[in-house]
Structure 1
């Protein structure tokens, strides 16, 4: 089982998006590499991430 050890968000005027992306990048890269090793096309996997995260974002917006 993979453990996710996120650091807390930046304090003050820190760049929230950059900090989050920096912490997510190794995880996403690991998933993409595993998918490519299993024969998936890297572009397809990355596009699936974009679509999945957009769907999650839209669902969350609808709940607010």
Structure 2
């Protein structure tokens, strides 16, 4: 499995943390979707599964905050 390298979050009062995180995640997510579609999966199904998985991971970590 390929390792991903991310830059740290932006700092400062005008930092848009969400936009920067999305920018860094876009390419790896596009590659995952591309590979899944090439294997026969529906693009919509893959994207929906990613949303559901992300939400489940978020919900499980909320108790740790």
User: TM-score, normalised on structure 1?
Assistant: 0.94
Does residue 8 of structure 2 align to residue 8 of structure 1?
yes
Q: Give the superposed CA RMSD.
A: 0.8
C-alpha deviations, 1:7-59, integer Å up to 9, x for none? 11101021000000000000000000000000000000000000000000000
Q: Give runs of ≥4 in structure 1 deviating > 6 Å.
A: none
Does residue 16 of structure 2 align to residue 23 of structure 1?
no
- In structure 2, runs of 5+ residues without a counterpart are none
Match of 1:43 in 2: 44
Secondary structure, in 3 states, of the residue corresponding to 1:63? coil
CA distance in 2, matches of 1:8, 1:37: 32
- In structure 1, runs of 5+ residues without a counterpart are none
